[in-house]
């Protein structure tokens, strides 16, 4: 498999720590490593992984290259988007960059945390098995609460011992709807992680969003390649429609399956989420840096 590390987000809900020129994936928020580094390091131990492909904003190219080098996981290529067009075009560019269209791509956002690494590895190997059978796999997070900040995936018929057909992708619900989803046991949080063959994804994109694929093909063909980076042509790429993998492909294909993942996953999308995944003292305080506390409880304190 080839990991594809998507690093296009700006993490604005964690402002002022995370900001446009220095977003959360490049910050060491939960350990000595950055979220980007944690993303690639948790892949260690999975058999037959190739060097990752990185996709990021042109402004972040040196941070991505350097942070991957720091943990001895240099990318095979880093694709630079001149502007964000959401995940579907980003993954199409990565698929076009693979030598063989039979390669299985493991699509991973660069800014998530996962605590149970063994459960994650097991789910990834299951996903590889399904992807090799031409399925398009998404990972559904087993919900721990009636969360209104995530989209949900409704599971359908059981496909194998470890995967379900996807019945529907649903938008972020209100509280009562989220409670019904969780109580039913049929719904998972949408993780934004996927696995599929490069060629299979491109075929589905051709079927359901041909103008997007054509723009990506032209953009990639006119890209400038140097030692570290693949620089996508801004003029061509600016004409590419913007859309997520979910909308562009996964909601439409009849080959989508979901693999449940119960691995203490968090997208660290807010200050409260960051507090959730950070070690806390006896008073419930998550402390980072030089901090003096007086009568302080259940707080996130970060000083740099």
Is the pLDDT reported for residue 269 higher than 80? no
3-state secondary structure of 186: coil
Q: Find the mean pLDDT for residues 205-219.
A: 94
Segment 87-117, tens digit of pLDDT: 999 999 999 999 899 999 999 999 889 999 9
Q: pTM to 2 decimals?
A: 0.91
Asked if residue 196 lies in contact with residue 159, where contact means CB atoms within 8 angstroms, the answer is no
| Contacts with 72 (C-beta within 8 Å, 6 or more apart), sequence order | none
Whether residue 252 contacts residue 243, with contact meaning beta carbons closer than 8 Å, is answered with no
| Range scoring the smallest mean pLDDT among 36-50, 123-137, 146-160, 206-220 | 146-160
More confident position, 173 or 121:
121
The rounded distance, in Å, linking the Cα atoms of 57 and 61 is 7
Do 195 and 124 contact (CB within 8 A), yes or no?
yes
Q: State how far the alpha carbon of 173 is from the alpha carbons of 180, 249, 262, in Å.
A: 10, 21, 21
Confidence of residue 11 (pLDDT cuts 50, 70, 90): low
Q: Where are the alpha helices (DSSP H) in 60-174?
A: 61-70, 87-96, 117-132
Phi/psi for 152 (5° steps) reads: -125, 155
> At which residue do the structure tokens 């990834």 appear?
124
Q: Is the pLDDT of residue 134 over 90?
A: yes
Contacts of 221 (CB under 8 A, 6+ apart): none
User: Is it the case that residue 145 has pLDDT exceeding 90?
Assistant: no
What is the per-residue pLDDT for 151? Answer: 87
In contact, 216 and 89? CB cutoff 8 Å = yes
CA–CA distances in Å: residue 214 to residues 221, 238, 290: 10, 13, 52
The answer on pLDDT for 20 being more than 80 is: no
């Amino acid at each position: 498999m080839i990991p594809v590390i998507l690093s296009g987000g700006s993490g604005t809900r964690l402002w002022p720590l995370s900001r446009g020129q220095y977003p959360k994936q490049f910050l060491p928020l939960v350990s000595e490593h950055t979220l980007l580094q944690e993303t690639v390091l948790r892949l260690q131990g999975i058999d037959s992984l190739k060097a990752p492909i990185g996709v990021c904003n042109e402004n972040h190219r040196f941070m991505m290259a350097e942070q991957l080098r720091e943990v001895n996981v240099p990318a095979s290529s880093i694709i630079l988007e001149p502007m964000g067009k959401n995940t579907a075009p980003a993954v199409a560019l990565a698929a076009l960059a693979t030598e063989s269209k039979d390669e299985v791509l493991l699509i991973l956002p660069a800014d998530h945390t996962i605590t149970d690494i063994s459960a994650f590895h097991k789910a990834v190997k299951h996903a590889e098995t399904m992807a090799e059978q031409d399925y398009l796999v998404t990972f559904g997070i087993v919900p721990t609460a009636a969360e209104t900040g995530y989209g949900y995936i409704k599971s359908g018929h059981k496909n194998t011992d470890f995967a379900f057909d996807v019945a529907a992708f649903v938008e972020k619900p209100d509280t009562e709807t989220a409670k019904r989803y969780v109580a039913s046991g049929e719904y998972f949080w949408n993780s934004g992680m996927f696995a599929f063959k490069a060629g299979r994804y491109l075929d589905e994109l051709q079927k359901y969003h041909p103008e997007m694929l054509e723009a990506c093909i032209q953009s990639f063909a006119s890209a400038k390649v140097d030692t570290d980076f693949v620089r996508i042509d801004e003029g061509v790429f600016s004409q590419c429609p913007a859309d997520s993998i979910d909308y562009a492909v996964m909601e439409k294909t009849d080959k989508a399956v979901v693999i449940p993942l119960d691995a203490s996953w968090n997208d660290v999308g807010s200050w409260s989420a960051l507090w959730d995944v950070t070690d806390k003292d006896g008073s419930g305080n998550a402390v980072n840096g030089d901090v003096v506390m007086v009568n302080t409880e259940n707080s996130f304190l970060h000083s740099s």
